[in-house]
Amino acid sequence: MNANVPALPVLGEINKYNLRYLLQDKDGNNFANHKYIAFLPNGDIVEGRTDDKGYTDLFKSYQPEEISLHLFKDEKIDIE
């Protein structure tokens, strides 16, 4: 009896590229809790906010990509 077993992905091959950005001003101050928009190469637009340390959400892809970010410096979000 022959069974067709599907090929399983090699561990680490899926979402091989993971990146998040630390957004800072020219003096090295983090943009914590600020709104941003990310423009992905496939045309998707992702809205988010930086965390309390100034990091964006994690971006995952199967290949290296260029992501453009727009930071709203005047739109700090009060999360208290």
Distance in angstroms (rounded) separating the CA atoms of residues 48 and 36: 5
Q: Count of alpha carbons within 13 Å of 36, Cβ hemisphere only?
A: 24
- pTM for this entry: 0.71
The percent of the chain in helix, strand and coil, each rounded to the nearest 5, is 0, 40, 60
Q: Where are the alpha helices (DSSP H) in 1-80?
A: none
47: enclosing H helix or E strand: strand 45-49
Q: How confident is the model at residue 6 (pLDDT cuts 50, 70, 90)?
A: low
Phi, psi of 45 (to 5 degrees): -120, 125
The model's pLDDT over 35-71, given as tens digits with 9 standing for 90+, comes to 999 999 999 999 999 999 999 999 988 888 899 999 9
- The domain spans of the chain are 17-75
